[in-house]
Amino acid sequence: MNKIIKLSSIIALAVAATGCSDFLDEELKSQLAPDNTYTSSMGFEVGCTGLYSMARSEYNTWGEKGAFMHNGACAYATQQIATDIVFQSGAKDGSLTPYADLEMTPTTLFIESFWNWSYQIIASANEILIYSEKNNNWNYPTDKALYQAEARFFRAYAYRSLQYLYGDVPWVETIQQPFLLNFTRTPRAEVLSHIVDDLTFAAEHLPTNPDQVKTGKLTKWAALHLLAEIYLCQGEYEKARKAAQDVIDSGYFALVKERFGAEKSQPGDYFHDLFVENNQNRPSGNTESIWVMQFEYKTTGGGTPSDDWTRREWGPQYHSINQFFVVSSEYGGRGLGQIAPFKWWIGTKNTQATEPDGRNGIFDDTDIRNSEYNFKREWLSNVEAHKGTRVQITDKYWQDGWLFPAPTKFFFAHDDDLTHTGSYRDRMKFRLAETYLLLAEAYLGLNDAENAAKAVNVVRSRAKASSVSAADMDMDFLLDERIRELVGEESRRFTLVRTGTYVDRVKKYNEVLSAKVQPYHALWPIPKTIRDANRDADFPQNPGYEGAK
């Protein structure tokens, strides 16, 4: 499928409307092409497998053998940097600097790649949907609706990113011939309505029982989880509440509260177990995962060195302090530390720069999410001459990205390949703890702080954190709770844009950008290549970027 899904970046939007058959006909005549692939249930299974592969390419970097190339440092980091949680360290990659400085332009790297990534998923999904209406050769009567449900889920998933990043974007759901050069921007409210339609269909036709599908495959509960989020974007809080509650009440999922999986007999806790290699899927005993992207290490169909770079972003460059450290699997492998956490939320435990009030950031003392197993704050030398000596996290080390309190959920390395780039570990994309937090967000929208607190307390109780009352519950508290539970897992920019808090939170917590951030920074510019190619109709730039090149 790689040759089908790797399309020209310049005409990505046109491909979304036209499909990829004509564009790649000459190359594909003797290989996989829509006309000779989408003729049976097996062909549609192949096509939908391609959608899963493209979706996980969201976390690509250089794209070694992956389905998509971002051609720079981890594009994922652009969804974390310039928010309220991290800053660009001295170990910076130049491709992240425009985002760290809020100086993105229509030609900045990643601005186009996220657009193209999204529309390539949309193009492939549309092709599956259109050919499924032509096909009459199905193994089972339910196959047509099943593959349409998968395609519509992924189309919705791609548009989810587009509307968060760019606002109004063209809604495309058919194949047009010839290529269109007169697209217009569909209002975001209309795009959201289409996403709801897609996810509603997906929830009706995807499998119900997660124990009866292949590992990593979608179920209706993944669709409902995402639907709850999209309803929140619309301000449809009662619908969001119901969608989230339906997932919670399904009987298939439960928050993990006991040790399980590959390292349950080793020191640790059950929150840490969620992120241990091979513990992400249901067969491991993980009852919390709703949808897991498959990146498994050295497995056919698994990850490649550049498929998921999140480990390298969150892992400090401790090995740069070569007097005291060498690269080690115990310390997560060879981290890059290009983004570093702000002290306001992560705290400064076991460092020289202790917070004035002695708190460990935003965590209760009893909160296991802040335990030694989930944040590494004590760094002991692993060089023979100084073995076991604690190395202080100085302000300079923190700023340089060499040493800081690091979330161990992203520690991943194998002794046989300590310097490899990607994580190769399956990624929990949706899990039940977030569903509870989406439920709490819906209750806040309904002005029901009491039930919002109850939903949050389910998550906090699992973490052994203190309960909160209705008086404690507001959006700021909920956003803090999402950090405690989901830091690095969620796209933080998406969360702040959805909740309408992007500017306020950056002003309040991002000491680098507090004086610089403006309302227009909540969106990215439209890529220059897209506007230039759309020569037959006006395609306005997002406010604030009109004069940028």
CA–CA separation, 460 vs 440, rounded Å? 12
What's the average model confidence in pLDDT over 146-172?
98
pTM of the full structure:
0.92
Average pLDDT, the chain: 89
What's the average model confidence in pLDDT over 521-549?
92
What's the average model confidence in pLDDT over 232-259?
98
Q: How many residues does the chain have?
A: 549
What's the average model confidence in pLDDT over 341-348?
90
**pLDDT tier at 174 (50, 70, 90 boundaries)?**
confident
- For residue 139, the one-letter residue type is N
**pLDDT tier at 266 (50, 70, 90 boundaries)?**
very high
Examine the pLDDT at 19 and tell me if it is beyond 80. no
Whole-number pLDDT of residue 404: 94
**pLDDT tier at 20 (50, 70, 90 boundaries)?**
very low
* CA dihedral over 205, 206, 208, 209, signed as positive or negative: positive
CA angle 74, 363, 273 (to 5 degrees): 60
Examine the pLDDT at 350 and tell me if it is beyond 90. no
Per-residue DSSP letter, 376: E
Examine the pLDDT at 202 and tell me if it is beyond 60. yes
CB distance 396 to 309 below 8 Å: no
Whole-number pLDDT of residue 67: 59
What's the average model confidence in pLDDT over 167-178?
86
Model pLDDT for residues 405-442, shown as the tens digit of each residue: 999 999 987 777 776 666 778 999 999 999 999 999 99
What's the average model confidence in pLDDT over 29-49?
85
Examine the pLDDT at 543 and tell me if it is beyond 80. yes
Q: Give the CA count within 13 Å in the CB-facing half-sphere of 194.
A: 23
- Tokens (6 digits) for 255: 């928050």
- Answer left, alpha or beta for residue 513, where phi above 0 means left and psi between -120 and 50 means alpha: alpha
Centre a 10 Å sphere on the Cβ of residue 534 and count the other Cβ atoms it contains: 20
CA–CA separation, 391 vs 376, rounded Å? 12
Whole-number pLDDT of residue 2: 31
For 12-21, 256-265, 396-405, 407-416, which range has the lowest pLDDT when averaged over its residues?
12-21
Whole-number pLDDT of residue 150: 98
CB distance 473 to 459 below 8 Å: no
**pLDDT tier at 18 (50, 70, 90 boundaries)?**
very low
CA–CA separation, 315 vs 313, rounded Å? 6
Centre a 10 Å sphere on the Cβ of residue 425 and count the other Cβ atoms it contains: 25
Residue carrying structure tokens 């950090």: 483
Whole-number pLDDT of residue 322: 94
Model pLDDT for residues 44-74, shown as the tens digit of each residue: 999 999 999 899 888 887 666 665 677 777 7
- Tokens (6 digits) for 402: 């060499």
CB distance 53 to 5 below 8 Å: yes
Q: Kindly list the domain boundaries of the chain, sorted by start residue.
A: 1-86+104-205+487-549, 310-420
CB distance 155 to 47 below 8 Å: no
Q: Helices (H), strands (E): how many in the chain?
A: 21, 8
CA–CA separation, 438 vs 492, rounded Å? 14
Q: Give the CA count within 13 Å in the CB-facing half-sphere of 421.
A: 16
Examine the pLDDT at 355 and tell me if it is beyond 70. no
CA–CA separation, 304 vs 320, rounded Å? 25
How far the first Cα of the chain sits from its last, in Å, is 35
CB distance 254 to 237 below 8 Å: no
Model pLDDT for residues 365-392, shown as the tens digit of each residue: 999 999 999 999 999 999 999 999 999 9
Of the candidates 222, 190, 179, 168, which has an alpha carbon nearest to the alpha carbon of residue 52?
Answer: 222
**CATH class of the structural domain 1-86+104-205+487-549:** mainly alpha
